[in-house]
Chain A
Amino acid sequence: MTAAVEFQSVSRQFGTGPGAVRAVDAVDLTIAEGSFFAMLGPSGSGKTTCLRLISGFEQPSSGTIRIFGQDVSTIPPNRRNVNTVFQDYALFPHMNVRDNVAYGLRVKGMGRAQRHAKAEEMLALVQLPDYGDRKPGQLSGGQRQRVALARALVNEPRVLLLDEPLGALDLKLREAMQDELKALQQRLGITFVFVTHDQHEALSMADSLAVFNQGRIAQIGTPAEIYDRPRTRFVADFVGSSNVLPPAVTQAMGGPARWASLRPEHTRLAATGPLSGTVTALRYLGAATRVVMKTGDTEIAALVPAGHPLPEPGHSTAIAFDPKDLHVMEDE
Chain B
Amino acid sequence: MTAPAILPERGLADRLTAFFWRHPKTFLALLLTPPLLWLGVVYLGSLFTLLLQSFYSIDEFSGMVKPEFTLKTYAELLRPSNFDVILRTLLMSAAVTLGCAVLAFPIAYYAARFARGRWKAVFYLGIMLPLWSSYLVKVYAWKLILAKEGIITWASEATHTTAILNAVLALPVIGGNSLSTSYIGMFLVFVYVWIPYMILPMQAALERVPTSMLEASQDLGASRSQTFRTVILPLALPGVIAGSIFTFSLTMGDYIIPQIVGNSANFIGMAVYQLQGTAGNIPLAAAFSMVPIVIMLIYLSLAKRAGAFDAL
Contacts and interface: CB of A to CB of B under 8 A. Distances in A.
B9 interface: no
A155 B218 CA distance: 13
B222 interface: yes
Interface string B218-238: 111111001000110011000
Contact of A57 (B215, B222, B311): B215
Interface residues of A, number: 25
Contacts of A79: 221
B210 A77 contact: no
A207 interface: no
A107 B216 contact: no
Interface in A88-141: 88, 90-94, 103-104, 106-108
A107 B229 CA distance: 11
Contacts of B226: 107
| Chain B residues touching A, range | 20 to 34
A94 B215 contact: no
Contacts, number: 66
Given A92-B231, A94-B234, A104 B221 contact: yes
A78 interface: yes
B116 to A, nearest CB: 13
Contact of A86 (B216, B223, B231): B216
B310 interface: yes
B217 interface: yes
Interface string A265-283: 0000000000000000000
A82 B218 CA distance: 11
A83 interface: yes
B235 A55 contact: no
- B210, B220, B311 — which one has the most chain A CB atoms within 10 A of its CB? B220
A83 B212 contact: no
Given A57-B215, A84-B216, A94-B311, A78 B210 contact: no
B217 A103 contact: yes
Contacts of B44: none
B307 interface: yes
A315 to B, nearest CB: 34
Interface string A298-314: 00000000000000000
A88 B210 contact: yes
| B interface SS class | helix
Given A57-B215, A84-B216, A107-B226, A90 B221 contact: no
Contacts of B223: 78, 107
B227 to A, nearest CB: 8
B213 interface: yes
A284 B135 CA distance: 73
Nearest to A104: B220
Contact of A90 (B212, B230, B310, B311): B212
A76 interface: yes
A146 interface: no
Given A94-B234, A94-B235, A94-B307, A77 B219 contact: yes
Given A94-B235, A94-B311, A107-B226, A77 B213 contact: no
Interface of A: 55, 57, 76-79, 82-84, 86-88, 90-94, 103-104, 106-108, 151-152, 155
25 contacts: A57-B218, A76-B218, A77-B215, A78-B219, A78-B220, A78-B221, A78-B223, A82-B219, A84-B219, A87-B212, A88-B212, A90-B215, A92-B213, A92-B216, A92-B231, A92-B235, A93-B235, A93-B311, A94-B307, A94-B310, A104-B220, A107-B230, A151-B220, A152-B219, A152-B220
Given A57-B219, A90-B216, A92-B216, 16 more contacts: A57-B215, A76-B218, A77-B219, A83-B219, A83-B220, A86-B216, A90-B212, A94-B307, A94-B310, A104-B220, A107-B222, A107-B223, A107-B230, A108-B221, A152-B220, A155-B220
